[in-house]
Chain A
Amino acid sequence: MNSTSQNFQQGLNTKRIYSTRSFKNGLVTAILGLATLLVLSPLVSMLIFLIKEGASSLNWDFITQLPKPTGEVGGGMANAIIGSLVLLSLASLIGVPLGILGGIYLAEYGTRKFVIWVRFAADILNGVPSIVWGMVVYAVFVIPFKTFSAYAGGIALGLIMIPLIMRTTDEVLILVPQGYREAGYALGLSRWRIIFSIILRTARKGILTGVLVAIARVSGETAPLLFTALGNVSWSHDLAQPIAALPLQIYTYAISPYEDLHHQAWAGALVLMFLVLSINIIARYISRRKAYN
């Protein structure tokens, strides 16, 4: 028996080959499953812990009442919930348009040499500790106007959002195949028309994800708000005045010596998480309507 026919014989031994293959397949599937489990377990355990600690203090009062003066039991975080929503809206007003427009510039308009540096700068800005943003806004906005304010807080959070959204928009737009742009040109459309009416629509989902990730990221930021929005124990009726925010309130309560306030802090964290979750769900729902693929 020569070697060729031996190989052929081995080739016919399909049973053995398939059993090793299915073993390898099973092994890799198991490893991947384990990795998924490892990633998910801290997330899930955090969620369970959060609900366990926070749910007991979470009641109607908590989301409708103002905080009680220190020492009294009860009260809520209504002002902080609204404050967080106000700050996130202000931040989005600054961060979303500037971030998306910047991303469009990087992906569609910029000259290659310049774009490399802008991307580099944006990546560095994404790595800047959030407290630095707070200090910058404190120096250039809070000090000149001589007051902490919702505006300052919104600006600080918005500035954090800009490079984040800019880079995700940039990357999503680059993934849109060149063929769609060419098809647009071939119809006699102008460049901005193609970008704003066709390419952005095609990349809509990816851009939305980038925006939501940015909102989720800044919604939990505490440090930049310490120097800007400051916090407020009551309602604020003026955006030029200090405003309460959930992360600030959580921070203040968590470092306090009272057991009751600790529970309130947990409840605040729970509310913050549901806030981000609802923003996600609502945004996805809106973008899903009359949208393909």
Chain B
Amino acid sequence: MNAIEELKNKMFLAANVQKNTKQQITAFEIKNLKLWYASHQALFDVSIDIPANQVTSIIGPSGCGKSTFLRALNRMHEVTEGARMDGSVKLFGEDLYAKNVDAAYVRRRVGMVFQKSNPFPSLSISENVLVGLRLNGISDIKTLKQRLEESLRLAALWDEVKDILDRPGISLSGGQQQRLCIARALAVQPDVLLMDEPCSSLDPIATMRIEDLIQTLKEKISIVIVTHNMQQASRCSDKTAFFYLGRLIEYSDTRTIFTNPMNPQTEAYVSGRFG
């Protein structure tokens, strides 16, 4: 009897382990996130788990709080005067808002790419990529060289710029500049990359290159992307969250959101009836 019980237990455990390995590892665990700009509340009680090594896209009409949500993930909102938050954001179990956690440390682990590509105008291509490392105190030439090539390759830019590394970063085309910014963010080796409408000012071909890039990047890091473009969300993300008026309306697999949404508001938005 005892032996049978034990065997049952073992089998249960084994099944459980199998289930766990199949299950996604969670990158961000966000609970009751609220955010205010002065007296205006921009986010209401957002709770969401964002999986690691996947692409999660955030969609919703303008002003729905999607960029604000993204900024709360690496504490960028703290740069804005009068912004304050409540709730908890954990990255791989570590509370990003704990008292002893430095915002700069959070941002090194959670990189960000912006809507408008912003390579530093006074720096060359290579300096732009390495600026995060250099200014964080890494000066070993070998490491820097290695990281430069690695980051530019990851950002699918190496072949285009390997002979012009000393040219100013802003001499590149719009799409190249945005990939340069991705390389710059990757150089500090973050665990997560946040992208705030990274393609909204790019032409379709440059957009396609960045979307391809996102697919290869997700093997290495987790990606959260805010986008206005629903085709983009359906093309390149595994999970999609729909925000409306500062609230998370629906969060599910991308396919479910676009083909069989639960919430009528989500359906209205993804089918283009409003927003």
In the complex, A186 Cα to B116 Cα: how many Å? 14
Q: Which of A9-17, A23-31, A177-185 contacts B (4 or more CB under 8 A)?
A: A177-185
Interface centre among A177, A182, A291, A292 (most CB of B within 10 A): A292
Q: Please, could you name 28 A-B residue pairs with CB atoms under 8 Å apart, sorted by A? A: A179-B114, A180-B118, A181-B79, A182-B112, A183-B118, A185-B79, A185-B104, A185-B107, A186-B74, A186-B111, A187-B108, A187-B111, A187-B136, A187-B184, A187-B188, A188-B107, A188-B108, A189-B104, A189-B135, A189-B136, A193-B135, A198-B123, A198-B135, A201-B122, A201-B123, A292-B122, A293-B121, A293-B168
Whether, in the assembled complex, A204 has its beta carbon less than 8 Å from a beta carbon of chain B, the answer is yes
Q: How far is the CB of A226 from chain B (nearest CB, A)?
A: 42
Q: Which residue of B lies closest to A177 (CB)?
A: B118
Whether, in the assembled complex, A64 has its beta carbon less than 8 Å from a beta carbon of chain B, the answer is no
Whether A186 and B112, one on each chain, are in contact in the complex, defined by CB atoms closer than 8 angstroms, is: yes
**Residues 176 to 214 of chain A near chain B (Cβ within 8 Å):** 177, 179-183, 185-190, 193, 197-198, 201-202, 204
Residues of A within 8 A of B107 (CB): 185-188
Whether B123 and A292, one on each chain, are in contact in the complex, defined by CB atoms closer than 8 angstroms, is: yes
| Chain A interface residue number, banded | 20 to 34
In the complex, A201 Cα to B127 Cα: how many Å? 13
Whether, in the assembled complex, B178 has its beta carbon less than 8 Å from a beta carbon of chain A, the answer is no
Give 1 or 0 for each of A263-293: 1 = CB within 8 Å of chain B CB. 0000000000000000000000000000111
Cβ contact of B132, chosen from A177, A179, A188, A292, cutoff 8 A: A188
Residues of A within 8 A of B136 (CB): 187-189
Q: How far is the CB of A90 from chain B (nearest CB, A)?
A: 30
How many chain B residues touch A (CB < 8 A): the figure is 30
Residues of B within 8 A of A187 (CB): 107-108, 111, 131-132, 135-136, 184-185, 188
**Residues 30 to 83 of chain B near chain A (Cβ within 8 Å):** 74, 76, 79
Majority DSSP secondary structure for residues of A touching B:
helix
Residues of A within 8 A of B131 (CB): 187, 197-198
Instruction: Known A-B contacts: A183-B118, A183-B184, A185-B107. Give 14 more (CB < 8 A).
Output: A179-B116, A179-B118, A182-B76, A183-B114, A186-B112, A186-B114, A187-B131, A187-B136, A188-B132, A188-B136, A190-B104, A201-B123, A292-B168, A292-B170
Q: How many A-B residue pairs have CB under 8 A?
A: 80
Cβ contact of A292, chosen from B104, B112, B121, B188, cutoff 8 A: B121
Q: How far is the CB of B104 from chain A (nearest CB, A)?
A: 5
**Residues 85 to 131 of chain B near chain A (Cβ within 8 Å):** 103-109, 111-112, 114, 116, 118, 120-124, 131
Residues of B within 8 A of A291 (CB): 122
Give 1 or 0 for each of B118-157: 1 = CB within 8 Å of chain A CB. 1011111000000110011000000000000000000000
Whether, in the assembled complex, B181 has its beta carbon less than 8 Å from a beta carbon of chain A, the answer is yes
Q: How far is the CB of A15 from chain B (nearest CB, A)?
A: 38
Q: How far is the CB of A198 from chain B (nearest CB, A)?
A: 6
Q: Which residue of B lies closest to A292 (CB)?
A: B168
Whether B188 and A182, one on each chain, are in contact in the complex, defined by CB atoms closer than 8 angstroms, is: no
Residues of A within 8 A of B116 (CB): 179
Q: Which residue of B lies closest to A291 (CB)?
A: B122
Q: How far is the CB of B138 from chain A (nearest CB, A)?
A: 12
Residues of A within 8 A of B108 (CB): 187-188
Residues of A within 8 A of B135 (CB): 187, 189, 193, 197-198
In the complex, A188 Cα to B132 Cα: how many Å? 7
Give 1 or 0 for each of B164-196: 1 = CB within 8 Å of chain A CB. 000010100000000001001100100000000
Whether A183 and B111, one on each chain, are in contact in the complex, defined by CB atoms closer than 8 angstroms, is: no
